[in-house]
Structure 1
Amino acid sequence: MELRSYVASLDGHGLLKRVSRSVDWKYEIGEVSRGEKDKAFLFENILDYPGYRLFTGGLSSIKLMALSLGFDLDISRRAFISKLRARIRDSIEPEYSLREDEREVWRDGRVNLYDLPVPWWSRTDGGRYIGTWHINVSKSPLYGKRNIGVYRMQVIGRNQTTVSVSPRSHLALHVAEAEGMGRDLELAVAIGVAEPVVMAAAAGVRYGTDEYGLAGAIAGKPVVLLRCQTVDLEVPEGSEFILEGHIKKTIRVQDGPYLDYSGIPSVNRNAFLFEVKTVSIRKNPLFRGMSVGNPGAEDHQLFSVLSSLGLTDFHGSSLRQLIQKFCLRNRLFKVFQLSGRVGLLKEIFKPGGSR
């Protein structure tokens, strides 16, 4: 179901906290929502951003995940994993929509990302993060294979964001291919998509696998795609916000500090620079994001499910990966955070690290 339908379903089941009072986008949204695991949040009155709403916490428990996938709300975690494993045995390929949905479109000089209700999630963050629960869409410029991922993005200018990736990520491979050809890489970002799409985008799959097919399998029906206006890419129909542009070749920028899954701030000094050319926005838009850093937060819950399905792809030593997967499958989230901190400290204190 589309994100809006899911929010309505949460509300109908008493699983949504509606916050109608004015809430500050700087720190307060993150502080209010952080730590809640039983219900999702809908912020309906964001300071400085009349007409915008923000949703977070949609997958913060097995019960909420079950609702998003049409499973029984009282399903056990074991049964949930079993049913989901059966669903994803066969990919369900996406379909394409020919209709145009009604949107406000900003182009070129009109683009101003500070006009969007992007939270400053944590006091330890270095700025406002527009990409925390979204999808990044790219294609291999050599082979045309599509990749859907979730890569954090910090707003650093009116039309610029960071895109923070690991060197082994599929997006990093696409950028390397484009740079080898002397080209920028086309990128689309969709914020406010159906939850199964984000689940698939966060999964660790083999290079060349189309995550939209996995998303269809997770949802039990095809993802319907729209073609972007200015780049040769596709995003889900019903996406609340669509950003189109290019990752600039050979340019690297600092991302962070950002409070990440390990519970401590991290910095990436080699993030990509994304230049946004077009923004399109649905009527009565619903922003989607998340506040990370707490053990057992929404990202941990999703990682735990994906790990149980064999769909995680952590980096580091084999021992560290084994520990992380064990912790996630057994929901030892504090130990999982500590294992992540070991990797961050190694990165910080190596020569040329992020000190």
Structure 2
Amino acid sequence: MAYEDLREFLATLDKNAQLLRFSDPLSPEPHLGAAARAVSNLTDRGPALLFDNLDGYERGRVVLNVVGSWPNHALMLGLDKDTPVKEQFFEFARRWDAFPVEVGRREDAPWREHTVEGDDIDLFHLLPLFRLNRYDAGTYIDKAPVISRDPDDWDNFDAQNVGIYRIQVKGKARLGIQPLPTHDIGLHLRKAEERGENLPVAIAVGNEPVITTVAGMPLMYDQSEYEMAGAIQGSPYRIAKAPLTGMDVPWGAEAVLEGEIVAYSREVEGPFGEFTGYYSGGRRQPVITIHRVSYRTDPIFEHLYLGRPWTEMDYTLALNTSVPLYQQLKKDFPEVVAVNAMYTQGLLGIISVRPRYGGFAKAVGVRAMTTPHGLGYCKVIIVVDETVDPFNLAQVMWSLSVKFHPAHDLVVLPDLSILPLDPSSEPAGITHKVVLDATTPIAPEQRGHFSQEVDAPAETEAWENRIKQLLK
């Protein structure tokens, strides 16, 4: 199921009736952001949107909502587009276990077709840029993997980071980037500045969806995103060497921008409409100077609409957030059955578990908050029994409504870390966190009346499968 590039994946979407093309002349603002918001409002089975006739641009097409639905997410994994979310979760977790898969290196990258360097670079001319939401401070590149290396361990492939960060276009060859200190690129920048050096970076624009999905994963510092992409797609991930910086970048990218984060330079970046559904405000952030741009003929510029969930970002990050939490928790607690951390990048998560004794579920919930991802997210954790599907909100709400006792099942942890973008944090980056235990009480807890639960009639599962086939 490995896709060579974004174009091949779009062809797959088209074949499966999951791509809409718009060829009528359109002004990028407000139409592109509005279209992406609209398709997310209407359905969770929405198509990708491809625009090829934009006012004011000589070259380039724009595609949005590439993985903005469960059918598109399933096709990314090479599955039938009607594959249920829970099945996608376990398939994603199964492939995770194949990590690492060695990369495939090639030097015939299609993005080498055209090159612009130095004073000739004008990103506003090279890329179709537009604001997504009306009060964004400017135009952003927000779905492009940024590749950086550890200045103290430059040749260590595993310490090379591939991450997605919001990037504000501030000038013809100048960008603003928002790396948090806990991000790998934040660690790379700190080391570079301690050495008094700029940090070289490469930015890959327009990629097949596996690498953009993996680039948003909370992997460990020495785990290669490219080797994880190989595991998820089931074959070696193809990379090529960026000529100016020497970074390993996706072979099939539409465009590659190369430059450096300027040491000790900070400028106001933002406001920007974020995945929380609120504008983030402006903060002083690092600056990137671009020295070289390479791109394909008639490039496709991929954009990610962000706003109040759900949007494409929620589908993109749903399982690549849930599966790492599942894998990390299962190492400590084999009783963990599944993890649904799909809500606002895991600020709320649901864990199904097979409790061993009273209080066990609460311990699992607290542990989730100390995982690498949970430290900055996981503000609200709901724990349910193994018989409850954490991806079925009707079941979760039933469990919460009848099993949760406010006096016994609420754990409040004060003043813990959270990402500063959480609008409820006060001060920014600090919040109380809670665990809601919605599991059935077991010894030594003795309370409630849970001995006569209604079970499913015989042959229910067989009828589920029969009806599922008829619906297809």
Do these two structures clear the TM 0.5 threshold for a shared fold by scoring above it?
A: yes
Whichever residue aligns with residue 347 of structure 1, its letter is: A
Instruction: Report the CA distance between 1:331 and its aligned residue.
Output: 8.7
Tell me what 1:4 maps to. 7
**Aligned equivalent of 2:292, options 261, 270, 278:** 278
CA distance in 2, matches of 1:173, 1:308: 24
Q: Secondary structure in 2 aligned to 1:6?
A: helix
Tell me what 2:175 maps to. 161
**Aligned equivalent of 1:127, options 138, 141, 152:** 138
- 1:288 matches 2:302: yes
**Aligned equivalent of 2:97, options 89, 99, 104:** 89
Whichever residue aligns with residue 103 of structure 2, its letter is: P
Q: Secondary structure in 1 aligned to 2:283?
A: strand
Whichever residue aligns with residue 251 of structure 1, its letter is: S
CA distance in 1, matches of 2:376, 2:244: 42
Whichever residue aligns with residue 250 of structure 1, its letter is: Y
Whichever residue aligns with residue 264 of structure 1, its letter is: Y
How many pairs are equivalent?
341
- 1:69 matches 2:77: yes
**Aligned equivalent of 1:340, options 410, 422, 429:** 422
Q: Secondary structure in 2 aligned to 1:81?
A: helix
CA distance in 1, matches of 2:105, 2:203: 18
Tell me what 1:226 maps to. 240
Q: After the TM superposition, which residues 158-237 of structure 1 pair with which residues of structure 2 at under 5 Å, given as runs?
A: 158-237=172-251
Residue 175 of structure 2 contacts residue 287 of structure 2 at CA under 8 Å; is this kept in 1?
A: yes
Distance 1:50 1:146, change over 3 A: same
TM-score (norm 2): 0.68
Distance 1:156 1:87, change over 3 A: same
CA distance in 2, matches of 1:135, 1:228: 13
Residue 35 of structure 1 contacts residue 297 of structure 1 at CA under 8 Å; is this kept in 2?
A: no
Tell me what 2:334 maps to. none
CA distance in 2, matches of 1:324, 1:243: 38
Residue 151 of structure 1 contacts residue 164 of structure 1 at CA under 8 Å; is this kept in 2?
A: yes
Aligned-residue Cα RMSD (Å) equals 2.5
Residue 35 of structure 1 contacts residue 294 of structure 1 at CA under 8 Å; is this kept in 2?
A: no
Q: Secondary structure in 1 aligned to 2:427?
A: helix
- 1:117 matches 2:134: no
Identity %: 26
Q: Secondary structure in 1 aligned to 2:147?
A: strand
Residue 314 of structure 1 contacts residue 321 of structure 1 at CA under 8 Å; is this kept in 2?
A: yes
CA distance in 2, matches of 1:104, 1:331: 48
**Aligned equivalent of 1:249, options 259, 263, 266:** 263
Instruction: Report the CA distance between 1:348 and its aligned residue.
Output: 9.7
Residue 307 of structure 1 contacts residue 325 of structure 1 at CA under 8 Å; is this kept in 2?
A: no
List structure 1 runs of 4+ shifted beyond 4 angstroms: 311-320, 324-327, 329-332
Instruction: Report the CA distance between 1:51 and its aligned residue.
Output: 2.9
**Aligned equivalent of 1:149, options 146, 163, 188:** 163
Residue 164 of structure 1 contacts residue 268 of structure 1 at CA under 8 Å; is this kept in 2?
A: no
Residue 186 of structure 1 contacts residue 232 of structure 1 at CA under 8 Å; is this kept in 2?
A: no
Q: Secondary structure in 1 aligned to 2:271?
A: strand
Q: Which moved more, 1:282-291 or 1:23-32?
A: 23-32
Q: Which moved more, 1:155-164 or 1:311-320?
A: 311-320
TM-score (norm 1): 0.90
Tell me what 1:105 maps to. 115
Gaps of 5+ in 1: 350-355
Tell me what 1:353 maps to. none
Whichever residue aligns with residue 286 of structure 2, its letter is: F
Bigger CA radius of gyration: 2
